[in-house]
Structure 1
């Protein structure tokens, strides 16, 4: 039995202000799609940049990793929970094409490259509301349960 989108979201080991997942729209053994709307009062907009805030690339990468690797990893393992999760980014390479401004909704689409020995590697794209590509790359992470 596949976990529901809510069950996957409930298992995420993040909370505000460092949770960058609002919804999941599709999930399968091969990939996942989800969204996040960057709130206008996010902590990182103050000072990045003066009078014209944009979302830092590291935050866009984190959003891509949370949806595209962690949520998909939770789905694939079915056994990770926020109480017993060991999750670590192991590699990322992201190319950026345009800015994301406060209030903007983004969609993350992730396609699994491989999942073996608890390492998940994905090709991940982040798109704006028009479907334009904001950034894309390859992100890998390790997912496993803490030993008792």
Structure 2
């Protein structure tokens, strides 16, 4: 089974589109990780003028990278450890409760609802450092495997 560092190394993202700093826990039932939104990220320059706020699509992407993709990579080890797995986001249903500002650290917690026929469906929640829920909902994705070589 892959460890947390191996899972992070398999993520198909790089800066500036990598929204995972640390993977705290992962098992067959879910994942927990953190990310701090650097105040110098380019999208803050125009969203919103003079009052930057993290766009909802970026919050959703952060939840997907930590709570769906990392978990999908972990779970795909049960399918075929010789294959390279990718998780493609297929659907989202997210409610936003509070803004996330530049420099804020968030924690994402996902809980697997089901994983069958290579389809992963999760409940996800993002909290700020004060422990307030900033957004929550469900994410789904398909795990695809590509043989190495």
Give the TM bin, normalised by the shorter chain. Answer: over 0.9
Secondary structure, counterpart of 2:129 in structure 1: coil
Cα RMSD, aligned residues only: 1.7
Q: Assess if the C-alpha contact under 8 Å between 1:31 and 1:110 holds in 2.
A: yes
Asked whether the 8 Å contact 1:92–1:137 carries over to 2, the reply is: yes
Give the total of aligned pairs: 146
For 1:146, what is the secondary structure of its paired residue? strand
Q: Secondary structure at the match of 1:75?
A: helix
- Which TM-score applies when normalising by structure 1? 0.93
Which ranges of structure 2 fall in alignment gaps of 5 or more residues?
none
- Displacement after TM superposition at 1:85 (Å): 4.0
1:12 maps to 2:11 = yes
| Contact 1:118–1:143 (CA under 8 A) maintained in structure 2 | yes
Q: In structure 1, what is the equivalent of residue 29 of structure 2?
A: 30
2:94 corresponding residue in structure 1: 94
Structure 1 consecutive aligned stretches of length 4 or more whose deviation exceeds 6 Å: none
In the alignment, the residues of structure 2 paired with residue 34 and residue 28 of structure 1 have an alpha-carbon distance, to the nearest angstrom, of: 12
Asked if the contact 1:34/1:107 (under 8 Å) is kept, the reply is yes
Q: By how many angstroms is 1:84 displaced?
A: 4.2
Return the alpha-carbon distance in structure 2 between the equivalents of residues 34 and 86 of structure 1: 19
1:40-99 Cα offsets, whole Å, 9 max, x none, are 111111110011100000000000000000000111112589x94443211100000000
1:39 corresponds to 2:38:
yes
1:23 shift after superposition: 0.2
